[in-house]
């Protein structure tokens, strides 16, 4: 295995960055500052100034005030601002991609893909002006019922480190399109890319206070969850925190949809196409250095799949750090993964490919690097096969039948994604019908639905009902008001009169 210098892929800033909060249309900085380091080389990229809890209240008040006017802006006018935002995102796609890559450690090409997905959600939100036109019907003589889609008020999005552009954009365009004001509390590990989004939203011409950013960590999340004028919280992050934010917000009468972690199963059967399966499996567990909630991390080999396993190990061993795979978010992640690999060895699995032995790219020793690692002969009860590790580590569990594979998938506490690799349509259908995850892939290792198909898992991968994008997002960020009207003067009275 080789490694190469990633600077040919990621532009580092010439001056130090400083991430501020955006409150009432003004960038504000707090007294405290903490440094943000590059996952690539450990060098300080810039600093973050978390907002105070008092500023949380100021941001909510400004968002509440802005909401009153914004909700009255016709949807077509709101959409034209979103379209302008789209133009700016496309103009600055390289800037956004480099920003996301350098602060969370992924490759620029991966970061660019996340910006494109962000734009896709925005396009869906703009399309609502033509598709989400309510409904109306004469339900009785002279009586008409209609739906009116209404915003719900000040809405909040709390987002994780691994997609600094895309995950906020799962929420922002839909929440704004339906007429809410929106406060983003980005991960305190990746505060810079959300600021670029904020700058573009200002440039697009959105009224002040309609979109805000609050920088910081746990205290701000709790203050937002407790604030009486926050109507809804969308959260994406790890399961324990998703569960706690969901409980805190809903116990205070708020609407909440909290997406959590994952342990995704890649089921492979002997009739799978060798190349399709091995490429798909490797791309799934190594893409974004395994730091994706859709990353496959358990390969369930049904029967004799030795050739495919050999190809998986061979393909993964060719991955060049810095060229084909980025870095882990921080040193803690690197240490957590190393100890998980050691634990798996103690539990009895064998290390088929050891990413710990691969040196960092030349000149990037200060970064957080781990090459693809494969743990073979894992058992479904082992931690490596059931706990979310969130890195480029694949555990292989061998079973005899497809039903055993599905039983293992069903027993998982997570339910984000499950994939099947096969050339048999009946097998594919059987898995799609019987797997418990919210997103199923057939010969695809990362089955992220494209808009308008909505994104969301099951079990501990999601607390709350509905999905975060597509029509699920529209329902989550709005109310349907039902208006029943009678104007006609009737002689024949009925039960609705
Ligand atoms: P995280 O749970 O540590 O952080 C998520 C957000 O919560 C951040 O904004 C963070 O500042 C905030 N936070 C952290 N600790 C908190 C606390 N104690 N109380 C309240 N808020 C707190 O997640 P992460 O490490 O940034 O991201 C990785 C995780 O996110 C993985 O588990 C991954 O599977 C998950 N994820 C899930 C999806 C999905 O769609 N289901 C998508 C992306 C990431």
Largest CA distance in the chain: 88
- Residue whose CA lies nearest to ligand 1 atom number 8: 187
Residue 15 has a pLDDT of 87
- How far, in Å, is the centroid of ligand 1 from the Cα of 259? 9
Q: What is the pTM assigned to this prediction?
A: 0.96
Of all atoms in ligand 1, which is nearest to the CA of residue 160? 26
Mean pLDDT of the chain: 95
Distance 235 CA to ligand 1 centre (A): 8
What does the pLDDT look like over 272-324, one tens digit per residue?
999 999 999 999 999 999 999 999 999 999 999 999 999 999 999 999 999 99
CA distances from 426 to 138, 402, 431, 442, 447 (A): 45, 12, 9, 11, 19
Ligand 1 atom closest to the Cα of residue 461 is 41
pLDDT in tens, 208-243: 999 999 999 999 999 999 999 999 999 999 999 999
Ligand 1 centroid to 164 CA: how many Å?
A: 12
- Span 77-99, pLDDT tens digits: 999 999 999 999 999 999 999 99
Would the CA dihedral through 322, 326, 332, 337 be positive or negative? negative
The CATH number that domain 264-442 falls under is 3.40.309.10
Residue nearest to atom 18 of ligand 1 (CA): 218
Q: Which tokens is 97 given?
A: 């991609």
Contact between 212 and 202 under an 8 Å Cβ cutoff? The reply is no
> In whole angstroms, what is the distance from residue 468 CA to residue 256 CA?
11
Would the CB of 258 count as within 6 Å of ligand 1? no
* Known catalytic residue at 293: yes
Q: How far is the centre of ligand 1, averaged over its atoms, from the C-alpha of 270 (Å)? A: 37
Nearest CA to ligand 1 atom 14: 218
What is the residue extent of each domain of the chain? Answer: 17-260+461-481, 264-442
Best mutation site among 237, 240, 259, 455 for ligand 1, i.e. most ligand atoms within 8 A of its Cβ?
A: 237
Query: Which atom, in ligand 1's list, is nearest to the CA of 161?
Result: 26
As assigned by CATH, the class of the 17-260+461-481 domain is alpha beta
pLDDT at site 4: 55
Q: For residue 470, how far is its CA from the centre of ligand 1 (angstroms)?
A: 22
10-residue averages of pLDDT along the chain (497 residues): 56 88 95 90 94 95 98 97 98 96 96 98 97 92 94 98 98 98 98 98 98 96 98 98 98 98 98 98 98 98 98 98 96 98 98 98 94 98 97 98 98 98 98 98 98 97 98 97 85 64
3-state SS record for the chain: CCECCHHHCCCCCCCCEEECEEECCEEECCCCCEEEECCCCCCEEEEECCCCHHHHHHHHHHHHHHHHHHCCCCHHHHHHHHHHHHHHHHHCHHHHHHHHHHHHCCCHHHHHHHHHHHHHHHHHHHHHHHHCCCCEEEEECCEEEEEEEEECCEEEEECCCCCCCHHHHHHHHHHHHCCCEEEEECCCCCCHHHHHHHHHHHHHCCCCCCEEECCCCHHHHHHHHHCCCEEEEEEECCHHHHHHHHHHHHCCCCEEEEECCCCEEEEECCCCCHHHHHHHHHHHHHHHHHCCCCCEEEEEEECCCHHHHHHHHHHHHCCCECCCECCCCCHHHHHHHHHHHHHHHHHCCEEEECHHHCCCCCCCCCCCCCCCEEEEEECCCCHHHHCCCCCCEEEEEEECCHHHHHHHHHHCCEECEEEEECCCHHHHHHHHHHCCCCEEEECCCCCCCCCCCCCCCEECCEECCCCCCHHHHHHHCEEEEEEEEECCCCCCCCCCC
User: Which residue of 53, 105, 160, 464 sits with most ligand 1 atoms within 8 Å of its CB, as the best mutation to test the pocket?
Assistant: 160
The pLDDT value recorded for residue 489 is: 66
């Amino acid at each position: 295995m080789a490694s190469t210098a990633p600077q040919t892929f990621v532009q580092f800033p010439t001056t130090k960055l400083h991430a501020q909060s955006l409150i009432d249309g003004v960038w504000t900085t707090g007294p405290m500052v903490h440094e943000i380091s590059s996952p690539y080389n450990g060098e300080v990229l810039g600093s973050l100034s978390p907002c105070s809890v008092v500023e949380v209240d100021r941001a909510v008040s400004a968002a509440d005030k802005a909401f009153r006017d914004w909700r009255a802006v016709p949807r077509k006018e709101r959409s034209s601002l979103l379209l302008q935002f789209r133009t700016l995102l496309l103009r600055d796609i390289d800037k956004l991609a480099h920003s996301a890559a350098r602060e969370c450690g992924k490759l620029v090409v991966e970061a660019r893909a996340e910006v494109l997905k962000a734009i896709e959600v925005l396009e869906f939100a703009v399309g609502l002006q033509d598709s989400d036109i309510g409904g109306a019907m004469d339900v009785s003589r002279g009586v008409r019922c209609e739906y009116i889609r209404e915003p719900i008020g000040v809405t909040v999005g709390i987002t994780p480190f691994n997609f600094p552009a895309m995950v906020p954009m799962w929420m922002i365009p839909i929440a704004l399109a339906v007429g809410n004001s929106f406060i983003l509390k980005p991960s305190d590990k990746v505060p810079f890319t959300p600021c670029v989004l904020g700058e573009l939203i200002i440039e697009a011409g959105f009224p002040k206070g309609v979109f805000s950013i609050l920088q910081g960590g746990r205290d701000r999340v709790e203050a937002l969850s407790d604030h009486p004028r926050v109507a809804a919280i969308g959260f994406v992050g790890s399961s324990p925190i998703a569960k706690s934010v969901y409980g805190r917000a809903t116990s205070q009468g708020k609407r909440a949809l909290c997406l959590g972690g994952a342990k995704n199963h890649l089921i492979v059967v002997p009739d799978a196409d060798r190349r399709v399966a091995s490429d798909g499996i490797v791309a799934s567990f190594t893409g974004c250095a395994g730091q994706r909630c859709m990353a496959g991390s358990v390969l369930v080999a049904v029967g004799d799949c030795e050739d495919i396993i050999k190809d998986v190990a061979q393909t993964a061993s060719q991955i060049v750090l810095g060229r084909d795979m980025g870095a882990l978010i921080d040193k803690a992640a690197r240490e957590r993964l190393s100890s998980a690999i050691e634990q798996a060895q103690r539990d009895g699995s064998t290390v088929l490919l050891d990413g710990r032995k691969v040196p960092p790219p030349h000149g990037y020793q200060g970064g957080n690097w781990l090459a693809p690692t494969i743990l073979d002969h894992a058992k479904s009860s082992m931690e490596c096969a059931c706990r979310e590790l969130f890195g480029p580590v694949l555990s292989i569990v061998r079973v005899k039948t497809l039903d055993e594979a599905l039983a293992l998938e069903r027993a998982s506490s997570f339910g984000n994604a499950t994939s099947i690799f096969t050339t048999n349509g009946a097998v594919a259908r059987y898995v799609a019908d019987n797997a418990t995850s919210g997103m199923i892939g057939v010969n695809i290792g990362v089955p992220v639905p494209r808009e308008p198909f909505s994104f969301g898992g099951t079990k501990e991968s999601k607390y709350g009902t509905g999905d975060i994008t597509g029509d699920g997002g529209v329902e989550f960020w709005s109310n349907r008001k039902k208006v029943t009207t009678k104007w006609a003067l009737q002689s024949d009275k009925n039960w609705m009169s």
